[in-house]
Structure 1
């Protein structure tokens, strides 16, 4: 695999490791993922062995488990996994995308929700290809605000701060990385709409769950929350919740012939449990 991407900057590295401190806010504030999106990635059946990589508090893993799959959630943050363990039907392991604590060819699918952009792709993609079975699938998902709605755009501006509107700010396209890799082939894409109901506290928790906000000083973080409160006060109509609209961008790909060949040289295929 070849890639020209740079390593994470010190600021990005700090943001990547900031989520453990806001695990409760992340779980309370972040949306789930659409069932249709995960079904598009995994197929309509049940009983697959699925790894949720960079699983956080298990939002995506929970959807996979509800669809009838055997799920293991891997994340480097013990704090995030402690929340994930409260969800039924999910095994957890502390680990990183660059060194996955699973055997060769041991899972049918690897799914990644809101986390692939934090990986060191030059190390993570070979690891993902290593643990996938020969006809396995890699699925990447991102919940993105639908900023066509004016009040949603205001919330997004409050969270993004001075970076709001900058080219590529808080946006990530994995397509170039996947296309450059010789370990995966045939990338497909799809988009799904869904909504999240939020009260005032939920909107605050959503803001606090963002890495850009988590690493701010206390005074700057309070400024962001004041802006978010202002949006709620001018847009909500209690007792009705605000309905945050999302567009979930999905990417689906499978190991290349080269990846499957390399894997057979390294180790035999692990049996189904």
Structure 2
């Protein structure tokens, strides 16, 4: 979920299943160097939590990791299942369908802002092995670029103008007694789009997905107009992104609580 605004609205949170194809076609991937920074070298067992159509899952699998993708949307996971060698499970961050201490890393791409954090953080700490990694990623469009600002203004409306279109996870992580020191990093990359792809990117945003058909089509017409005035076909329109990354590990308290609940699962 790209720079969708903080997600306390259940309607918007459930909107992604209906636009799974547009999400997969229009949303950017994640840079491999971002994942390498988050989890380090070696082959790991990784949970992609809130995996959606598998944008992050695909990158982790391509780096040689064993990945299980969990998402509450069956429609989104149906797309993710096309990836070879990836396990998928329907489930929520607040009730993860995995055993205690069963994964080396939990990665969350574009989804942490939709979680009920009071319930999700204990679940994430539960499934992580000691010294495991929680990695959060967001692709943020570089709105310093004028035409990118126009696209986001069309999609986000008043929230964009008020500066309410981004979510900061740092206060939540710092206030949790289940996780330790938080490290951050940023990686630059680009996403190439044609006219259809830019429209699909807009369609995949929750703010647009829940609009009435008439209002949604009005937004998409604005998106088409921006493409027509900016792009120079046959060259793709290169959407600039920064991937913001947050890395933390379970605290001593989280590791102690886990040992009280169940023994550590052995590596597979």
TM-score when normalising by structure 1: 0.95
Residue 186 of structure 1 aligns to a residue whose secondary structure is coil
Match for residue 14 of structure 2?
Answer: 17
Residue 184 of structure 1 aligns to a residue whose secondary structure is coil
Match for residue 223 of structure 2?
Answer: 228
**Cα shift at 1:165:** 1.9
Q: After the TM superposition, which residues 194-209 of structure 1 pair with which residues of structure 2 at under 5 Å, given as runs?
A: 194-209=189-204
Find the aligned partners of 2:97 and 2:158 in 1 and give their Cα distance: 39
**Cα shift at 1:176:** 0.2
Q: After superposition, give the CA deviation of every residue in 1:110-140 in whole Å (9 maximum; x if it has no partner).
A: 0000000000000000000000000100000
Match for residue 205 of structure 2?
Answer: 210
Q: 1:65 aligns with which of 49, 61, 66?
A: 61
Q: 2:182 aligns with which of 178, 182, 187?
A: 187
Structure 1 residues without counterparts, runs of 5 or longer: 1-6
Q: 2:30 aligns with which of 30, 33, 51?
A: 33
Tell me, yes or no, if structure 1 residue 112 matches structure 2 residue 108.
yes
Tell me, yes or no, if structure 1 residue 128 matches structure 2 residue 124.
yes
Residue 249 of structure 2 aligns to a residue whose secondary structure is strand
**Cα shift at 1:166:** 1.0
**Cα shift at 1:44:** 2.4
**Cα shift at 1:8:** 6.4
Match for residue 87 of structure 2?
Answer: 91
Q: After superposition, give the CA deviation of every residue in 1:29-83 in whole Å (9 maximum; x if it has no partner).
A: 00000101010001022x2000000000000011000000000000000000000
Find the aligned partners of 1:18 and 1:183 in 2 and give their Cα distance: 31
Find the aligned partners of 2:41 and 2:200 in 1 and give their Cα distance: 33
**Cα shift at 1:89:** 2.1
Find the aligned partners of 1:143 and 1:217 in 2 and give their Cα distance: 27
Find the aligned partners of 2:113 and 2:7 in 1 and give their Cα distance: 10
Structure 2 residues without counterparts, runs of 5 or longer: 1-5
Q: Is the 8 A contact 2:150 2:226 kept in 1?
A: yes
Q: 2:45 aligns with which of 42, 49, 52?
A: 49
Q: After the TM superposition, which residues 123-272 of structure 1 pair with which residues of structure 2 at under 5 Å, given as runs?
A: 123-167=119-163, 169-272=164-267
Q: After superposition, give the CA deviation of every residue in 1:79-119 in whole Å (9 maximum; x if it has no partner).
A: 00000000112100000000000000000000000000000
Find the aligned partners of 1:223 and 1:58 in 2 and give their Cα distance: 29
Q: After superposition, give the CA deviation of every residue in 1:191-215 in whole Å (9 maximum; x if it has no partner).
A: 0000000000000000000000000
**Cα shift at 1:170:** 1.8
Q: 1:79 aligns with which of 67, 75, 80?
A: 75
